[in-house]
Amino acid sequence: MVLVLVIGDLHVPHRSNSVPAKFKKLLVPGKIQHVLCTGNLCTKESFDYLKTLATDVHVVQGEFDEGAYPEQKVITVGSFRIGLCHGHQIVPWGDQDAISIVQRSLDVDIMISGSTHKFEAYEREGKFFINPGSATGAYSALLADVAPSFVLMDIQGGNVVTYVYQLVDDEVKVEKRDFKKPE
């Protein structure tokens, strides 16, 4: 079992004060092997917080980040090639066709992007796509109400069990999605 935290669009301190306390209680050091962040951490302090959760932290550049991160990144976890990009450079934002073009250019099994602040997970053409949403519920011009969310992927062989954590009405709701790598 390999646990991968997929998180992004924190926007601390510009649009939010911090990751919700109920999420911080769930995100404990020593349980997670990899952190994949879609960017917009905004400060080094947010990056340092992610480093407390796992030693292997990968971040891509959001349009509000102070750090110099790559625009895109490919990480291999188990038998999966995972692509990571913030998503502000994908036009229109969140468009499945446009995200698929990036997925194909990176030649990845799982494509992770952000920017919209809205959680999404879907299969398309034998590939898996994830947008973790905003971990803080930061303001978005695209949505009237942003529910804070993050994703934990449990990777075992050619299977990924994805757990989506959303803070709704001050309660943490968890959904499960499965993806099996085509042979």
Q: Residue 100: pLDDT band by 50, 70, 90 thresholds?
A: confident
d(CA 103, CA 111): 6
The answer to whether 83 touches 112, Cβ cutoff 8 Å, is yes
Question: What's the pLDDT tens digit per position in 106-160?
Answer: 999 999 998 888 899 999 999 999 999 999 988 666 667 889 999 999 999 999 9
Residue 135 has a pLDDT of 92
Contact (CB, 8 A) for 131 and 120: yes
Q: Tell me, what's the pLDDT at 139?
A: 67
Q: Which residues contact 181 (CB under 8 A, 6 or more apart)?
A: 79, 80, 109, 158, 159, 160
On whether the CB atoms of residues 133 and 9 are closer than 8 A, the answer is yes
